[in-house]
Structure 1
Amino acid sequence: MKRFCLQGIVLLTAFLLAISSFVLFVVRDDYETGQLIHNEKPSCSKNVFIYYTEKQVEITNEKNDDQKEKGNGEEDGVQEEEPSGEDESGEEQEGQRDGDDLPEIVWGVDSVNVTDSSFLDCVTTNFGSPTIWGRYLGDKEDVSYGLTPEEIELLHDHDISILIIYNQFIDATGYETGVNEAEGALAFAEELGIPEGVAIFANVEPEYPVDGAFLAGWYDTLTEANYPPALYGLFDDDSNVTIALEEAREENETIFEELILWSNQPQVGITSEENAPDSFDVNAPDGSRPLGWQYGLEADTCNIDTNLFVGEMLNYTWGSAE
């Protein structure tokens, strides 16, 4: 019995030692493993960083190489400005000259006849060298012959600008009439190749009925089509066309201010270029925009009228460069 107890104690002691050794081994191993798991950085992190850094450098270098090959208009950090075709105010300047490049006054003629070489010679021999020549759109029976492609070429070959006149009406009343007549003028302009920016003058004779509504229709339609609206007439204080212009002004001040006027008053009589009036003393309503003065009517030699024009009119006539 005593021996049995001694053996039991030995076995129990051995068992306890075995358990202790096992626990000590497992805990230490787990501890070391845990230290490794929580403290170790991913072995790929440095490689990933290097990979993306190298790729970024490659991309950046490729972009820089492309910019060097293509060029970006910059040198030493300063970007070159390309011409914009605009003036300092930002407004596009097409086909127009400023006041410094224009003469103050120019001499010109207008005629109901087709211009050929002999007629041009008649004018230059007997009167002078016109800078502007007024001509009509379309034939009007017993009144005027229309501008032709041949005379356009002839006048432009002699550096003469063409003033465009429309007279295909005798009643200038009502807004719709103004619209319709303007559309008729635009049809002629398209047929002849008259460029935008050239003024078209409605020819209102003294005996024609005319009102402000007609002028508004004429103005609105031509303005929308980029042809400056213009008006020829007898601008005395009590004339029909002056009264109509004042009517239009009451409805729209812009019409009064922007319509280009060509007045046939006062009458001085036909002269040569050399003997033309010294100053531009034209009759027109105060505050309006008169650029033309037909001071002489119906010459006996060559069928012309003689005119003075403010130099600005050259911006609204059809020149050879357009």
Structure 2
Amino acid sequence: MCAHWGVDSATNVTNDLYNCVLNNFGKPEYWGRYLSTVQGAAEGLTGEEFELLHNNGTKILPIYNDFQEAVGYQQGRNVAINTIFHARRLAIQEGTVLFAKVEHFFPVDGEWITGFVDVFLPSGYRPGMYLDPIQGQFNDAYCSAVSNSPKVANQLILWSAEPELGATKKAEVPAFNPQKPTCRANVWGWQYGRDAETCPIDTNLIDRKLYNLLW
């Protein structure tokens, strides 16, 4: 399988940050960035950033994180609606996968996951979730959602935070082997290294199928 290497950051991508990654890690094939500013957590993607990234031949992996829990069907729908709103505001093309970032310390239930997926089906975008399949409640909630609604396993694209092996250069990546939920799942992304020391980024590997759905 061909895995594609890239990074994500909570901070805006400037020429200095891009060159920091380029010179210390290698050329990122994609860059994970947040759709909106969340105080103390992330800076929102700007038009200048996506011009800089696209002009350098780097795709964008969109992330939404303006929520603190993942409980309840209607709340899942609300997060999906907000995610899609920001994608349209930024003129991100339809067909792109948009990731909700579900932290390992969040309360999570299956109804929330189902609600999130249901909103995406007619939207033109693809639903994605960043998750930790080992720590926290996501695994049980996800498998509950899949057992009640098979379309969740068919539609949802997962980006796993485990195992955490440490950030590496592009030339020194591990084999693509993310930890997966204990039921049927499309785990197409893996954040294998977090909080690199040289530049404020995390390092990732993704499947070609996911790479083709980035912006």
TM-score range, shorter-chain basis?
over 0.9
Does 2:179 correspond to 1:283? yes
**Aligned counterpart for 2:152 among listed residues 255, 261, 270:** 255
Does 2:30 correspond to 1:108? no
Q: Deviations for 1:195-224, whole angstroms, at most 9, x for unmatched residues? A: 110011110001111111111111011121
Query: Matches of residues 61-80 of structure 1 in structure 2 within 5 Å?
Result: none
Aligned partners of 1:259 and 1:190: how far apart in 2?
Answer: 20
SS in 1 for 2:170: coil
Could you list the runs of 5+ residues in structure 2 that have no partner in the other structure?
Answer: none
More helix by share: 1
SS in 2 for 1:224: coil
User: If the length of structure 1 is used for normalisation, what is the TM-score?
Assistant: 0.65
Shift of 1:239: 3.4
Does 2:142 correspond to 1:245? yes
Shift of 1:190: 1.2
Counterpart of 1:146, as a letter, is G
Larger radius of gyration: 1
Aligned partners of 1:250 and 1:313: how far apart in 2?
Answer: 24
Q: Deviations for 1:4-26, whole angstroms, at most 9, x for unmatched residues? A: xxxxxxxxxxxxxxxxxxxxxxx
Aligned partners of 1:316 and 1:215: how far apart in 2?
Answer: 20
Counterpart of 2:67, as a letter, is F
Aligned partners of 1:267 and 1:222: how far apart in 2?
Answer: 29
Aligned partners of 1:308 and 1:189: how far apart in 2?
Answer: 23
Query: Matches of residues 169-184 of structure 1 in structure 2 within 5 Å?
Result: 169-184=67-82
**Aligned counterpart for 1:163 among listed residues 51, 61, 67:** 61
Aligned partners of 2:87 and 2:70: how far apart in 1?
Answer: 20
**Aligned counterpart for 2:41 among listed residues 124, 138, 143:** 143
**Aligned counterpart for 2:124 among listed residues 217, 220, 226:** 226
Aligned partners of 2:13 and 2:46: how far apart in 1?
Answer: 9
| Residue in 2 that maps onto 1:308 | 205
| Residue in 2 that maps onto 1:20 | none
Task: Report the identity percentage.
Answer: 39
Aligned partners of 1:157 and 1:235: how far apart in 2?
Answer: 35
Shift of 1:261: 0.5
Shift of 1:176: 0.5
Could you list the runs of 5+ residues in structure 1 that have no partner in the other structure?
Answer: 1-102
Aligned partners of 1:256 and 1:242: how far apart in 2?
Answer: 13
Shift of 1:287: 2.7
More strand by share: 2
Shift of 1:256: 1.9
| Residue in 2 that maps onto 1:295 | 192
| Residue in 2 that maps onto 1:118 | 16
| Residue in 2 that maps onto 1:41 | none
Indicate the RMSD between aligned Cα atoms, in angstroms. 1.1
Q: Deviations for 1:231-287, whole angstroms, at most 9, x for unmatched residues? A: 101012x6311111011012111202321000010111011101111x211101243
**Aligned counterpart for 2:133 among listed residues 226, 235, 260:** 235
> After TM superposition, where is structure 1 displaced by more than 2 Å over at least 4 residues in a row?
none
Does 2:88 correspond to 1:190? yes
**Aligned counterpart for 1:269 among listed residues 152, 162, 166:** 166
Aligned partners of 2:98 and 2:106: how far apart in 1?
Answer: 18
